[in-house]
Structure 1
Amino acid sequence: MPENLFKEDNSSDEANSQEVKKDFQGLLGSVRKFMTELLEIRSNTDAATTKESIILDIPFKGHTSWILICSIFIASIGLNANSTAVVIGAMLISPLMGPILGMGLSLAINDVETLRKSLKNFLVMVVLSVVTAFLFFYTFPIQDESSELLARTKPDIRDVLIAFFGGLALVIARAKKGTIASVIFGVAIATALMPPLCTVGFGLAIGNWWYALGAMYLFIINTIFIALATFLVIKYLRFPMVRYANSRRRRRIARIASAIGLLVMLPAGYTFYMAFNESLFKKQAQEFLSETIEIYEFARNGRYLDNLTKIEYDYQNGSLVEIVCMGSEEIPENILNSWRRKKQDYSRLKDAEFSVVQGGKDDSEEKFNYVSELYEAKKAELLTREERIRFLEEEVVRLSENVGKQIPFQEVVAEAKEINQNLAGLSFAYQLQSDFNKMDTIPIFEAKWKGSLRKNEKVKQSENLLKWLKVRLKDSTIVLRQE
């Protein structure tokens, strides 16, 4: 009897297990079906219309050229004025994306003719944009290096990711039946193709080649990753390949397209790798600083200048982490050694140079002078309330003295004319004088005598006039000059 019960329990457990397994498989199937329906894009793709619309956007001539020129001018003005809103407006009307999508499409479907047309119009687009921006910044009187301009001179990992995922979103939106216009506008803003080209023109206009090269590098990164995203999406959607009557020519073109696609992906992969390494280096450097100098407490009048911290990543020549402190207090050598040992705990900082600029210990006289000047300026800003009050009181006294010295010039001129008929004119002004110890305000009169008066008579009458002025105005500091 117990054996029968045991067998019944086992069979019941097996049945429950099979039922749970079947329910779990059903759940997985439902999730898989849901995810497939959620993410599947092939069924709602219009390959022919997408290809036609991309090819139509490639050429730069006529209306498109003038739209590009106007949008470059607007973007240049916005960058110069540091206005993000104006730059966004310029990006919305810019037709820069056409040739880049054309390159990705042509590589994906082996269309050499479209690739040739895309490359030609891409070069026209770049040259026209840079020349337009150069002419604007070269002729415009205000050439401020705004933050909007400087932000386009040094790309990082975020620019790579924005370009790639922006390109993915753009091609997916273009491929959908009934294109999603809002996505196209959003990608135009996010990928920001136009501001780097404007910055290239700005760099050339002011003769700063590093600005121009950095901005062109950012533009090339955006171009490569948008084209790469287009290539991958078109391949995934299985757009029909271009057929050629000659099978040998078809194979040759396929190889050329594959080689160009590989050449595009290699620098893209290298750029991503280098930008990713730089991002990790800067992240570890910030963590290192937060655990060392940022928590260090100066005993007296030292201060860490976080805005002068220099973090530079250079794969070939060596990276640098430099911090700047001001004030006469120096960080003890044992503390600096402990920071150097701690730097070795960070894998990407081991080979980086670590430098601390503090007063005269740095071997750069220019940096020392800069820190000293900055320190003095900060001390002036940190005057105590009593010192500020005393300074204001001294200013009030000085101004009161000057008010007391105000000359009733009109009355003096009338009286001087009555006293001396040979006087042809009299002028007056205050003059600041200093003997390098103190500064004084001296009232200066200048007398003009009639031409019939001889030189010795002018000298004598000038002496009499000066004595009268000092008595009349009760001021012994008065000076009289004659023409």
Structure 2
Amino acid sequence: MGEWRDVFDIKRDSAPVEEIAARIDADSTVKGANLVILIMAIFIASVGLNMNSVAVIIGAMLISPLMGGIVATGYGMATYDMHFIKKSLVKLSFQVVFALLTAAVYFSLTPITTPSPEMLARTAPTAWDVIIALCGGIAGAIGNTRQEKSNVIPGVAIATALMPPLCTAGYGIAAHSFHFFGGALYLFFINCFFITFSSFLIFKILRVPVCGGVSEAHFRYQRWFLIVCGLVVTVPSLYMAYVTANENIRDSQVKSFISQDMDLEASSVVAYELDHGVLIVDVIGAPLDDQEIERLQASLHQYGQLRQTTLKVVQGPASQLNQEQVQEIINARLANELKNDSGKSYKELANQYYGSYKRDAADQNLLRSLNRQAPVLFPAVRQISGGTLSTLNGEEETEGRQWLAYIVVSRQLTADEAGRLQQWIQTQADMPVVVNIQLQDTPSQFYGNGIDWNP
């Protein structure tokens, strides 16, 4: 038994009590260098959240001095020094209010007002955040009490993430959004409480000396205070963890239903959205009859989290929908999901169709350029239409692409002129080009009559 105690003995290389007290008091200072660093950390975190830059946000976590006031509060509770506790809480409160107001000012002035995914990630804390804060607080308190400081503190600063939630709450103030303000501030208080509580436990294990005479009533009061605060902070996070787990399972089952049950031969799903118990699926291709929709509804109810979900199929023949209309469907669903912070599946769908729309946009840009320049270089050219063609091999896999140019001319071109025109278009398109040249007065849809092969 004694060997196990030696393995987990945290007293062995701890710093003297006087050094620990001095170190904690210095780290909790809110003036001088610490105040300047706090201001810089606030702006860095705000910019990182605004630009959705993880690297910048991590930098703000590393330099933030907020941990000092929280650990100092835990130390004051362990020593039962009410004066030290009050002083630490006043310092921490100043830092919190200052960070909220500074971040609110920044987000009021920045031209980028759309909340980033990094902000959204800090508005719904769960029980996992409690575990992170508790473990981080224990590691931070141990690292802060060693004779030689290690790299534990920076790691704890990144894991517990104190500054980003505060700046996100500042965004909530600027945007008049209680969802952002309340959710982010709740995450910050989870981190604060459990870092304080775990620091308190470590300082008690290290047996830091108690300040003066402490009555038994004070012991009981502090014990019940910690228990009540722990329940108040933890219970909502447990509920949020339950909700989050159910949502993840539900989203996974929706993806399985779309990819497996709605993998139809003559129709394709272009977008889908789950909204208040209704799964709306946009389909193009051969229309689905009522019997097929009923079969899909029955399949949907086979998934545990989707038993009460109603399937609504929005469909239209592919011939009645052009590319712009399909893109509008995807964009509308994507915009709606991003607004509700659950648009991952729509991003994946948009990426699936992104290649074809990117080619279409490139074709449009190329046509505009060709029609501006061609009449200057080739006066007989009146109009150029065209687009990218794909070639399939025997296995129906894309083998290559070429550009088809349909050219209307005012007179027949010589073979040499047609060759130079093809070479010029090929240079602009940066791919092989096939040309069909037609006279404007006698157009034909079956063959090209715009070249005089016998000049």
What TM-score comes out, normalization by structure 1 length? 0.61
Identify the residue that residue 220 of structure 2 maps to in structure 1.
255
How far did 1:133 drift? 1.0
Identify the residue that residue 268 of structure 2 maps to in structure 1.
302
For residues 35-73 of structure 1, the C-alpha deviation after alignment (integer angstroms, 9 at most, x for no partner) is 433322133334613234223333423432222112211
Identify the residue that residue 419 of structure 1 maps to in structure 2.
none
Q: Give the partner amino acid of 1:169.
A: A
Identify the residue that residue 325 of structure 1 maps to in structure 2.
281
The Cα RMSD (Å) is 3.9
Query: Superposed, which structure 2 residues align to 1:226-305 within 5 Å?
Result: 226-244=195-213, 250-289=215-254, 291-296=256-261, 297-303=263-269, 305=271
Query: Superposed, which structure 2 residues align to 1:338-377 within 5 Å?
Result: 338-343=299-304, 349=305, 353-359=308-314, 373-375=328-330
Say yes or no: does 1:110 pair with 2:110: no
How far did 1:201 drift? 1.6
How far did 1:169 drift? 0.8
The answer to whether the 8 Å contact 1:305/1:323 transfers is no
| Cα distance in 1, alignment partners of residues 36 and 360 from structure 2 | 64
Say yes or no: does 1:337 pair with 2:298: yes
* Unpaired segments ≥5 residues, structure 2: 317-324, 333-349, 382-455
2:179 aligned to 207, 210, 229, which one?
Answer: 210
Say yes or no: does 1:224 pair with 2:190: no
Distance 1:272 1:389, change over 3 A: closer
How far did 1:385 drift? 9.3
Say yes or no: does 1:66 pair with 2:66: no
- Secondary structure class of the residue paired with 1:327: strand
For residues 146-169 of structure 1, the C-alpha deviation after alignment (integer angstroms, 9 at most, x for no partner) is 333333223234433322211111
Q: Give the partner amino acid of 1:143.
A: T
| Cα distance in 1, alignment partners of residues 48 and 364 from structure 2 | 46
How far did 1:279 drift? 4.0
| Cα distance in 2, alignment partners of residues 380 and 257 from structure 1 | 59
Q: Give the partner amino acid of 2:231.
A: L
Distance 1:117 1:38, change over 3 A: same
* Unpaired segments ≥5 residues, structure 1: 1-31, 311-319, 344-348, 362-369, 407-483
Identify the residue that residue 193 of structure 1 maps to in structure 2.
162
How far did 1:393 drift? 7.5
The answer to whether the 8 Å contact 1:304/1:324 transfers is no
How far did 1:272 drift? 4.2
- Count of residue pairs the alignment pairs up: 347
| Cα distance in 2, alignment partners of residues 103 and 263 from structure 1 | 17
For residues 201-229 of structure 1, the C-alpha deviation after alignment (integer angstroms, 9 at most, x for no partner) is 22222333322222212212211221222
For residues 66-93 of structure 1, the C-alpha deviation after alignment (integer angstroms, 9 at most, x for no partner) is 2211221122222223322222222222
Distance 1:145 1:405, change over 3 A: farther
How far did 1:264 drift? 2.1
Query: Superposed, which structure 2 residues align to 1:128-143 within 5 Å?
Result: 128-143=98-113
What TM-score comes out, normalization by structure 2 length? 0.65
Q: Give the partner amino acid of 2:172.
A: G
Distance 1:371 1:110, change over 3 A: farther
Q: Percent identity?
A: 30
Identify the residue that residue 174 of structure 1 maps to in structure 2.
144
Identify the residue that residue 472 of structure 1 maps to in structure 2.
none
